[in-house]
Amino acid sequence: MRTITIPTTDLRVSRLCLGGNVFGWSADRAQSFAVLDAFFEAGGTFIDTADGYSAWVPGNVGGESETIIGDWMAARGNRDQVTIATKVGKLPTSPGLAPANIAACVESSLRRLRTDRIDVYYAHEDDPAVPIADVQSAFDALVQSGKVRYVGASNFTPERLQASLAFAREHAMAGYSLIQDEYHLMERSTYEAGLRPVVEQFGISNLPYYGLARGFLTGKYAAGTTIDSVRAAGASAYLGERGDRVLGALRAIADQRGVTMGATALAWLAQQPTVSTPIASARTVEQLADLLPFGDLELTGDEIAMLDTASA
């Protein structure tokens, strides 16, 4: 799998970032280990999770995904060969970005991940109740201590992101080096019109989540089709004329290239301005296999234009 360097960092990572939100949710421990093994064997080195994954599952408390990933790295002895991103702020029992909460939550994540450092530590969402100065100081302290290499932001408004980045730059702090926000062929306007100008201004990049529109862009969801998936309801929201146009364009390009529609959708995303590494999850090894061709797939200008037009 091709590797890239994330702008404003020295992180050299696989072009695909594996989303860990399914670990401990729709993928049990054995399934998760199988997916992680297959990803690593294919050259995948970048894994994304959060302390809140998967607290929404009955009986879970959060941290299940981190624990599985930590156990897998310990079992395989490969911590130094992978890049780990996790998040703070949305764990139901420890919400928000108060400095004391950030300091406590990073220790819990380090323990669950069975590591001495986190490569990317995101604010999972903004916390307007906490002054920007306090949040930035708390993250800067983690970087200075060596517990965190880089910090990122997720689900911020353009205004708050800009203010946070400007504050960190003015005070020579370790500010947000990257963001993680929803962006894909079915959801373009919010990012392109709002966040992208801020990302461009500060020279950072977006590592988009829901890169496959909750599975819709794989082509397996269609009107009148029932799919056994926890993502089915979210994916079905994209059914309709525009969705049909996008799927038609994806299918035409994928068939011509001999790859999957999912890999084609991720390739479009990776070639958008300010995007570095798309995030996609896989519940099974078979689902992962459909994504792996993206690792070295480059679309032509005509193919990108075709998808731009279909998704407009």
CB-based contacts of 72: which residues, under 8 Å, 6+ apart?
Answer: 32, 33, 36, 37
- Beta strand residue intervals within 256-311, DSSP E: 279-280
DSSP 124-147: SS--TTS-HHHHHHHHHHHHHHTS
In terms of DSSP H, where are the helices of 114-211? 132-145, 158-170, 189-190, 196-202
Please give the torsion angle defined by the CA atoms of residues 219, 279, 264 and 299, in that order, rounded to the nearest 10 degrees: 160
- Residue 12 φ/ψ, nearest 5 degrees: -100, 115
Q: How far is CA 81 from CA 12, 78, 118, 272, in A?
A: 11, 5, 13, 27
Q: Would you say how long the chain is, in residues? A: 312
Closest CA to 199 of 168, 170, 173, 176: 176
Which residues are catalytic, by number?
Answer: 53
Strand 83-88 vs strand 12-14: parallel, antiparallel, or unpaired? Answer: unpaired
